[in-house]
A and B are shown apart, each in its own frame.
Chain A
């Protein structure tokens, strides 16, 4: 597996190296979260690492939309592409459970300040009713 650098202009340098189980071609950077195999724990740890964390799939267009939303607000979210994570599938299932039955898909899921905000509909609703910006400021992701 390759080392992942920052994905696109919207995310801060975000390294997560995938420790391949069967011996990959060179693990370069190992963060402390790499060793965690339990998906829920991994999600929690990753969510706590940055002010704004988005769990995404590289092929998902709604994830693209949510990333663009945060960028347009001047926020630099940390993006974790689950299709490039060794336990990504498990994490997807864990996220689905976290979101509850009403949600049709497991991504995108947004955490702000380590706390779960939700999927796209919750993010948009909180943006419209004005609660998103204060949340971002409190987490230190936005300055005036």
Chain B
């Protein structure tokens, strides 16, 4: 976008700037080039100022670019020539889109005022579009110009930053064709009134122009930071990919981890960052004794945060169920205790029971029954998975044919199973049930989280979720400690291993999680 405004932008490091600036005579600039490059830079507020208040020095306190003021001097003349008439007091609400809708057409009428207006307006809407004008619009362009000034919100979105276009326009603007009814000079009282209105409108224009300039600056700044973020994300992705390879157990034949897995890993690490933020909020809320409403907001936010990871996992289960179920996305210590690709709810509840005192009697009953039903559900799912495995074993081993037929016999056209289907096809079909199990397990976990939220008060829930988060922080820390431990001997006491004592390695686990 910026490149196109080279002629007028104060920021543009282009030679075009100088080219236009040095011409003293309004060059017969083919509108196409001129406007195409600068169209989106135009700020109608200032253009109108130039046109309408020819000869009146408007002291603009905005940063005026000296070198471009001469540029500007040429432009009003040019623009004046371009507008043969200047009707006043237009109230037609022609939509801006009507002007810019002609972007597909390429009529370039270099002497036509309408083209300039059209181009300006169209470029303000769509900076990349070619000149658009239509003979139909020639006559109504002036209407449109006025209309545009009245509809400043629309085109000011695309307005340029401060371009130094502003005036002093006084003596540099020849009134060659003073068809403009708003010229200065002997005037009647009605014209004075018009001027007052005009001045006010111009002031408003200035304000709006200033606002859109600021907005544009913010937008550009946002773009820049997004670009940097994008570069960082790409780095992270690359790193996650390589880490995935590393965690893949160093299997030599392991090519790339699947893109679904890589994507999940990346989103999971982002979720973890979010998790730390949420935990900090929870901790602050608890320690600072926030009101219940405030704490409720934080807790609800944490629930939504959990819902988000469950949704991500649902997607990941579709694309790469093995990645999820084998826990390749997590740290080794977590992986060790994984159940169906995630945490085991009954264990979590058992851990939480110690953290949540004091509980009312109803709550105790609720938590205990929750744990009981979790255990039943876990058992049911585990048994279902076991049956899946058993069935798969049977299918692959193919009814006693393992020592008879090699794999090549299992190709299409080979021996069929008793159900008339090819054994590998049957096995594939059975394997696809894995996704269902992971999905049910995740659904079950999500229900547990929501039920805990229902049973507990806001404050208890805050402590509960903080406890869960903290537990996994420590488990992950344990994992990295383990992988970085000295190989000769691990002396776990307070003296030798400072970081170990921070997380209480070697102490009984009971004391670890009660620091809230």
Give residues in A with beta carbon < 8 Å to B: 59-62, 64-66, 68-69, 72-73, 104-105, 120-121, 124-125, 127-130, 132
Contacts and interface: CB of A to CB of B under 8 A. Distances in A.
Given A120-B440, A128-B374, A69 B380 contact: yes
Interface in B372-410: 373-374, 376-377, 379-381, 383-385, 387-388, 391
Q: What does DSSP make chain B's interface, helix, strand, loop or mixed?
A: helix
Contacts of B374: 128
Contacts of A132: 373
Q: Nearest 10 A-B pairs (CB), nearest first? A: A65-B384, A69-B380, A128-B447, A61-B388, A68-B380, A61-B387, A64-B387, A65-B380, A68-B383, A72-B376
Q: Which of B380, B381, B388, B451 has the most CB of A within 10 A?
A: B380
Contact of A62 (B370, B437, B444, B451): B437
A124 B444 contact: yes
Nearest to A122: B443
B369 interface: yes
B363 to A, nearest CB: 13
Contacts of B370: 128, 130
Nearest to B440: A120
B369 A69 contact: no
Contact of B443 (A60, A61, A124, A129): A124
Given A65-B440, A68-B383, 4 more contacts: A61-B387, A65-B380, A128-B374, A132-B373
Interface in B351-376: 366, 369-370, 373-374, 376
Contacts of B377: 69, 124, 127-128
A121 B380 contact: no
A130 B366 CA distance: 9
A121 B369 contact: no
B325 interface: no
B448 interface: yes
A70 to B, nearest CB: 8
A62 B443 CA distance: 14
Given A66-B380, A68-B380, A121 B440 contact: yes
B448 A128 contact: yes
B433 interface: yes
Contacts of B439: 121
B436 interface: yes
Contacts of A124: 377, 440, 443-444, 447
7 contacts: A61-B387, A69-B376, A69-B379, A124-B440, A124-B447, A128-B374, A130-B369
Contacts of B444: 124, 128
A109 to B, nearest CB: 14
Given A61-B433, A105-B436, A68 B384 contact: yes
Contact of A125 (B379, B385, B447): B447
Contact of B385 (A61, A72, A105): A61
A128 B451 contact: yes
B337 to A, nearest CB: 21
A69 B101 CA distance: 64
A54 B454 CA distance: 30
B379 A68 contact: yes
Given A104-B436, A124-B440, A128-B451, A62 B373 contact: no
Interface in B430-455: 430, 433, 436-437, 439-440, 443-444, 447-448, 450-451, 454
A59 B380 CA distance: 16
Interface centre among B388, B440, B451 (most CB of A within 10 A): B440
Contacts of A129: 447, 450-451, 454
A68 B385 CA distance: 12
A66 B377 CA distance: 9
B388 A127 contact: no
A125 B380 contact: no
A124 B340 CA distance: 15
Q: Which of A62, A65, A127 has the most CB of B within 10 A?
A: A65
Contacts of A105: 436
A62 B369 contact: no
Nearest to A132: B373
